[in-house]
Amino acid sequence: MKVLLVIHGYPMRYNAGSEVYTQGLAQALAERHEVHVFTRQQNKFLPDYILSEETDPLDARVKLHVINLTQTLDQYRHVGVDRQFGALLDVLKPDVVHIGHLNHISTSLVLEASRRNIPLVYTLHDYWLMCPRGQFIQIRPKDQTDLWPLCDGQEDRKCAERCYARYFSGAPEEEETDIVYWTDWVHRRVTHIREICGATDLFIALQPNGKPAYQACYGYAGDYRDGIAVVQGENGLHTHINLCGEPVHGHWFLDLDVFHKGYARARDTAGWHHIDLQGYPIYARRFAAVEPFYNGQARVEDFDGSLLVIDQEGVMIVRLRNPL
């Protein structure tokens, strides 16, 4: 079988976790298969998107296809990378593409494999598909004395205020304008990542020892939080599983989020709402969009465009915006 691995760096240039893992995987696969790796370098003396051919410095059986990319900070799509990757697919014609990480490369290269009907596997190493920064650690938390400010969930505006504020102008009168811009940027990225996940055939979540966390396979498997993860079945519906890969409650939804303080955002045919750990709605109403609960309150958008704050019984506490 011909295998093409994709990783944002490869030893000896880069020696972090997913990079070293991919090298070990490549060398193990080379025992029985033809193995190629699409990866990157950052050489400021070469033009971007130049592709060079190398071999693994420790295993000549592994062929490296190294693209040069120096302008990568927070940019997640590169048409030049996609073109080179697509051309490489046409030459190699791999039987499977296995992604280890797409940060600093291009998320949309997934679509190049999908268009060619090449099976695509994605091993999850961190939260990067869910969190634009990858680690759910905030750069500018409310409490500036917190040295490890963990984020409790992805929200577009919160991402803008707590992490992308470093790109704000600094002018107080422009702060809201900057927040609106970066909230939209995060929203567009999250929407695009959902498309990329939909084009991926199989996600793999690993234990610390590198073995699969469970035997079941899903079309999508999110990262665990408090021992529970979101998975997508072959029918396109979502549910929660535990550390053994077993269903937490057995209810399936069109869209689903991880649990936050005992409740999770869920969408059925009627709209968005919140569910409890048993998978049951905690109120009868449905909305166009909902955010997680904080201190017993959640901001929601109704179908008429109005913004509300509701309690855990779905009752409006305050109206933030009138119907549009």
Containing structural domain, residue 259: 220-321
Q: Kindly report the CATH number assigned to the domain that includes residue 311.
A: 2.40.128.630
In a domain, 18, yes or no: yes
Q: Is residue 6 part of a domain?
A: yes
Contact 35, 142 (CB under 8 A): no
For residue 117, which amino acid is it? N
Identity of the amino acid at 160: A
CATH number of the domain bearing residue 67: 3.40.50.2000
Token pair listed for 323: 């119907």
Question: Letter for the amino acid at 87?
Answer: A
pLDDT digit string, tens, across residues 35-65: 999 999 999 999 999 999 999 999 999 999 9
Query: What's the pLDDT tens digit per position in 77-121?
Result: 999 999 999 999 999 999 999 999 999 999 999 999 999 999 999
Confidence of residue 24 (pLDDT cuts 50, 70, 90): very high
Closest CA to 126 of 156, 149, 103, 154: 103
Give burial (CB, 10 Å; 0-12/13-18/19+) of 248: middle
Letter for the amino acid at 310? I
Do residues 226 and 112 share a domain? no
Instruction: Give me the phi and psi of 108, to 5 degrees please.
Output: -75, 0
Q: Which helix (H) or strand (E) is 120 found in, with range? A: strand 120-124
Does 97 map to a domain?
A: yes
Answer yes or no: is 142 within a domain. Answer: no
Residue-level pLDDT at 146: 84
Q: If DSSP codes are grouped into helix, strand and coil, which group holds residue 28?
A: helix
Residue bearing tokens 């999850």? 124
Is 40 in contact with 66 (CB distance < 8 Å)?
A: yes
Where is the domain boundary, 102, 125, 148? 125
Residue 227: what pLDDT? Answer: 82
Q: Is residue 99 part of a domain?
A: yes
223 — pLDDT class (breaks 50, 70, 90): confident
SS3 letters for 63-116?
EEEEEECCCCCCCCCCHHHHHHHHHHHHHHCCCEEEECCCCCCCCCHHHHHHHC
Q: Is 224 found in the same domain as 112?
A: no
**Which residues are bridge partners to 240 per DSSP?**
230
Q: Write out the DSSP string of 163-195.
A: TGGGGS---GGGHHHHHHHHHHHHHHHHHHHHH
Domain's final residue, options 65, 98, 125: 125
**Per the domain annotation, does 164 fall within a domain?**
no
Does 50 reside within a domain? yes
The whole-chain average pLDDT of the chain stands at 91
Domains contained in the chain, number: 2
For the cut 70, the answer to whether the pLDDT of residue 210 exceeds it is: no
Q: pLDDT tens digit string along 254-290?
A: 999 999 889 999 999 999 999 999 999 999 999 999 9
Q: Which of 70, 97, 125 is the last residue before a domain boundary?
A: 125
Q: What is the pLDDT of residues 122-173, one digit of tens each?
A: 998 888 888 888 888 998 888 888 888 888 888 899 999 999 998 999 999 9
> Which residue, 215, 234, 233, 214, is CA-closest to 224?
214
Query: Measured in whole angstroms, how far is the alpha carbon of residue 98 from the centre of its chain?
Result: 16
Separation CA 66–CA 51 (nearest Å): 5
80 domain residue, yes or no = yes
Q: Is 144 exposed, middle or buried (0-12, 13-18, 19+ CB in 10 A)?
A: exposed
